[in-house]
Structure formats: C-alpha cells, structure tokens
C-alpha cells in the first residue's frame, strides 16, 4: 500500500537515522534541488521544558560561524508551530567510531590523515573563538570520499573576547582533559587539544589510553596522565602523544606547534576554510523569536497502520553504498552503534516478541505503531539507557528491524544488542541459511 510522504517546507522527509534525548535526525531530500540532506528535528515544548533555548541557539549560531571542509555544514534553520528543523549536510560514510570498532586499529598513514583533518577543523573553530568540548570518534563523521567531518556542537562554547576560562564540566569522561575535571576553570583550546590526543591514540591503538570501570579511578589516571603506548607506535608518535597528553595545560603542546611536528607534516595537505566571512544569524533569531511568517508547512505522513516501506534511496544510505548485503549480514565480532536484523515473521509478531524480551530484561516499553522505545538505567545506575527500534518492510514478507542507541554508553549498547539478538533468535532470519544463489541480494 502506498505511503504518503511527509514534507517540511521544500524538504521530503525520510527515515530516522539518529536519535538522542532531545532530537531526532532524519534523512531528507530538497525537492527543489534534489540534494540529500540530514534534518535534525527538535520539539519546541521539550526545549522550553528543559530550558535549553540558549544552548540550542548557541549550537546553531556556532555551526553557522564555523564553515570548514572538515566540519559538517549547517545549511538553514526552519520552524513550524511546534518544531525546529536544522538542515545539515548529509554525511553518508558513518561515524569514525564504527570504523575503529570494525578494524580494531587503523594504519599509521590513515590515522595521520584523520588526525590532520581533525586538527585543521579544530584550529578553524579556535580561530573563530569556538571550543568544541566533546571531541570523540562518535562525533567525527566520514563523507563518501573518506574525509573527516566534525559534528555535534551541542556542548560547544563561544568566547566573546578572545581566549577566556571556561567553567562548565562537560564532555565524555575518557576524552576529557584533567583541568576540566578539576572545576577550577580551563582554557577551551588546550582542553580540545587533549581530546585530539586521545583520539589519535585510539586511532592507532584501537583502544582508549584511559579506561577504568569506576570514575574515581579513571579520573585519577587522567589527572596523572597515566597511560602506555603500544609497542607498534613509532617513536615520533609516542613523543607527540606525550606532548599532547600533558596534564599541565600551560605546558601542553598547542595546535600551531602540532602543525609544525615532522610526523604530522608528512603528506600534509592543508585545506582552505569555506568562504562567507559575513555570517547571517537572522534565521536563528527568527526561529526563536517565533516570527509567524518564518513558519514552514508541515505535512503529516499516513502509514495506514502498517510498517513503513523503505525506498531505494533509504536502503542505499542505510547500507552506506550499493552493496545491500550490509543490510542483512552481521558479523558476530562487530556491532555498530546503529544496528539491524531481518525477519520473515509478521510485523505484529516481531513487535510482540521484542516487547516480551525487553520486559524480561527489565526495560520499560513505549510502543506506537511499528516503532518502540526501550528505557532503563545504565549498568552503573548513573544515567539512562534507551534504545529505539523501528520495523520497516523491505520486500513482501520480509521486514527489517532498525535498532538505534538513544541514550547511554555505546559499549553498553553493543552488549545489549548481542543479548537482544540472542533472545530473539527464533524470529531472526539469516540469509546465510537460505538457498544458495537465490538472487535475493543481487
């Protein structure tokens, strides 16, 4: 049965490709130009309820200020009566995190290339008085050409008068500089450099330099910069990382010095920031000042009480290429943050089976049509753990269940997903068990 597409202004809205506590990211298409974009959707009432107006305004303004080839580009901001829509460059290569999980560690050449692009992007941010404060592989995306794109400026700070001390403790603990944990004020530029050093280590080692099961021990190791480089690290890389992971921010190497480092400069090709020196923030002000004539028309989609049918573009973007086997194959030793499995069981059976398993795991279940949200506490009871599942029809009598982490630790999600699949074994269909050369994936 035909599905009525949802539209927001000139954009045709597709499937959800990411989800967080306060926003969803959907694939979308500009019907005027045919360009594929990412649409970040936030509900106004939620923003007001959590007093996040200034934070969201800052995030949007910062993304308009930092225009660089290695930073995800913000194209425009729209608003309806109830929602805010941030239109972003569509980056289809996935997260750098996923690549590290898949390969274990990257080669020296590849690690250096990503590190060079990261440093270029961060240097540009700092030149504009912007400090990211949450640099980690999950916030580094890869485009179709394998180039790095820094994303998620939700925790960023914008300096009003050059370099100043920041006081908000934020970021992901394993990547956070020791001075950020001290609550005594810190230099945002030096803190970002530390995070870049941790990322370089992760790229080349395939593991974190600072990792402990409890936060007090982790903080102690970070404060002492207590880590060991693997034996395969070249001497010049070890030297550079030790200069970056200096617990004293005053003696820690700066970006301009990193750019002069011989190891860094090998095969280095600098990129020029994008133009548009004058940044227009009028659309940002309009969205948050509720100017009526800036509202866009929002048309609802009708699912006819059945799972959404995934179109060709959505299948391609989901599999990150034309090889659709990525949709159905799942290696046991590699689980990405966004995961999926297929089933030949009826959609209603799939939903009821997941609901029963989730409840047996102590999770709360919120279900609507063919979409579910599972919620519970994280393993350490310190925060929320949440997962979103959605059922899609990809062929007659063949359904795909898309599973996404919405809140909580990524590694915890990996364990959850494997456990979930083990408990749902009776409904999961594995193409490897099908008749050879059936032609399904050709």
Q: What is the pLDDT of residue 268?
A: 92
pLDDT tens track for 306-337: 666 655 545 544 544 333 344 444 433 344 44
Q: Three-state DSSP class for 79?
A: strand
Nearest to 61 by CA among 148, 128, 124: 128
Taking the C-alpha atoms of residue 96 and residue 150, their distance in angstroms, rounded to an integer, is 10
Sign of the torsion angle spanned by Cα atoms 350, 390, 98, 29: positive
Question: Which residues have a catalytic role annotated?
Answer: 134
Q: What is the pLDDT of residue 324?
A: 39
List the 74-79 sheet strands across, edge first: 74-79, 83-89, 36-43, 24-30, 11-19, 6-8, 298-299
Nearest to 376 by CA among 365, 363, 388, 387: 363
Q: What is the pLDDT of residue 385?
A: 87
Number of neighbouring beta carbons within 10 Å of residue 271 = 14
Q: Are 255 and 119 in contact (CB under 8 A)?
A: yes
- Helical spans, DSSP H, in 66-214: 96-103, 108-127, 178-181, 188-205
Segments of the chain scoring below 70 in pLDDT: 1-5, 159-171, 274-338, 379-382, 431-442
Q: How far from the centroid of its chain's Cα atoms is residue 255's Cα? A: 24
Q: What is the pLDDT of residue 334?
A: 40
Q: What is the pLDDT of residue 200?
A: 97
- For 126, counting Cβ atoms within 10 Å of its Cβ (0-12 exposed, 13-18 middle, 19+ buried), the class is buried
Which residue segments constitute the domains of the chain, with CATH numbers given? 9-90 (3.30.200.20), 96-265 (1.10.510.10), 308-430 (3.30.310.80)
Q: How far apart are the first and last CA of the chain?
A: 25
Nearest to 204 by CA among 180, 227, 176, 177: 227
Number of neighbouring beta carbons within 10 Å of residue 31 = 13
Token readout for 320 is 């990150």
Taking the C-alpha atoms of residue 309 and residue 395, their distance in angstroms, rounded to an integer, is 8
Q: What is the pLDDT of residue 155?
A: 73
Pairing of β 338-343 and β 398-407 = antiparallel
Exposure of 187 in the CB half-sphere (CA atoms within 13 A): 15
Q: How far from the centroid of its chain's Cα atoms is residue 34's Cα? A: 24
Taking the C-alpha atoms of residue 192 and residue 186, their distance in angstroms, rounded to an integer, is 11
Q: What is the pLDDT of residue 106?
A: 94
Q: Phi and psi at residue 84, in whole multiples of 5°?
A: -115, 135
Token readout for 372 is 């579910």
Q: Three-state DSSP class for 252?
A: coil
Residues 6+ apart with CB under 8 A from 413: 337, 385, 387, 405
pLDDT tens track for 59-112: 888 888 888 999 999 888 888 888 889 999 998 888 888 888 888 899 999 999
Sign of the torsion angle spanned by Cα atoms 178, 183, 186, 188: positive
Q: Are 119 and 258 in contact (CB under 8 A)?
A: yes
Q: Are 199 and 175 in contact (CB under 8 A)?
A: yes
Read out DSSP for 265-308? HTT----PPPS--SPP-HHHHHHHTT-GGGB--EE--B-TTSPE
């Amino acid at each position: 049965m035909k599905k009525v597409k949802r539209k927001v202004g000139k954009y045709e809205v597709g499937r959800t490709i990411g989800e967080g506590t306060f926003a969803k990211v959907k694939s979308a298409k500009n019907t005027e130009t045919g360009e594929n974009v990412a649409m970040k959707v936030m509900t106004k009432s939620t923003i007001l309820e959590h007093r996040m107006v200034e934070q969201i305004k800052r995030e949007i303004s910062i993304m308009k200020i930092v225009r660089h080839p290695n930073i995800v580009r913000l194209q425009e901001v729209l608003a309806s009566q109830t929602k805010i829509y941030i239109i972003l460059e569509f980056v289809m290569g996935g997260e750098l995190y996923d690549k590290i999980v898949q390969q274990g560690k990257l080669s020296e050449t590849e690690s250096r290339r990503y590190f060079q692009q990261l440093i270029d992007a961060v240097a540009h941010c700092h030149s504009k008085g912007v400090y990211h404060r949450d640099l980690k592989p999950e916030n580094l995306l890869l485009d179709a050409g394998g180039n790095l794109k820094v994303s998620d400026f939700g925790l960023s700070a914008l300096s009003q008068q050059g370099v100043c001390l920041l006081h908000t403790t934020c970021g992901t603990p394993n990547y956070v500089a020791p001075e950020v944990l001290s609550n005594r004020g810190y230099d945002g530029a030096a803190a970002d450099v530390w995070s870049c050093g941790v990322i370089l280590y992760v790229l080349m080692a395939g593991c974190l330099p600072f990792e402990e099961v409890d936060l007090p021990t982790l903080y102690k190791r970070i404060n002492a910069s207590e880590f060991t480089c693997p034996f395969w690290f070249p001497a010049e890389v070890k030297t550079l990382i030790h200069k970056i992971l200096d617990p004293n921010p005053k003696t820690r190497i700066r970006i301009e010095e990193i750019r002069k480092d011989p190891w860094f400069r090998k095969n280095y090709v600098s990129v020029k920031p994008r133009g548009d020196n004058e940044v227009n923030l009028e659309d940002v002000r309009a969205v948050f000042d509720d100017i009526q004539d800036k509202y866009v028309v929002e048309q609802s989609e009708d699912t006819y009480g059945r799972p959404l049918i995934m179109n060709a573009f959505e299948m391609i973007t989901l599999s990150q290429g034309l090889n659709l086997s990525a949709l159905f194959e799942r290696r046991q030793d590699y689980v990405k943050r966004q995961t999926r499995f297929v089933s030949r069981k009826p959609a209603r059976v799939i939903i009821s089976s997941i609901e029963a398993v989730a409840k047996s795991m102590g999770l709360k279940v919120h279900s609507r049509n063919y979409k579910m949200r599972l919620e519970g506490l994280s393993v350490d009871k310190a925060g929320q753990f949440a997962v979103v599942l959605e059922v899609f029809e990809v062929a007659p009598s063949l359904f795909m269940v898309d599973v996404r982490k919405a809140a909580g630790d990524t590694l915890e999600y990996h364990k959850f997903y494997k456990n979930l699949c083990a408990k749902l074994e009776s409904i999961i269909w594995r193409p490897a068990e099908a008749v050879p050369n059936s032609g399904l994936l050709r």
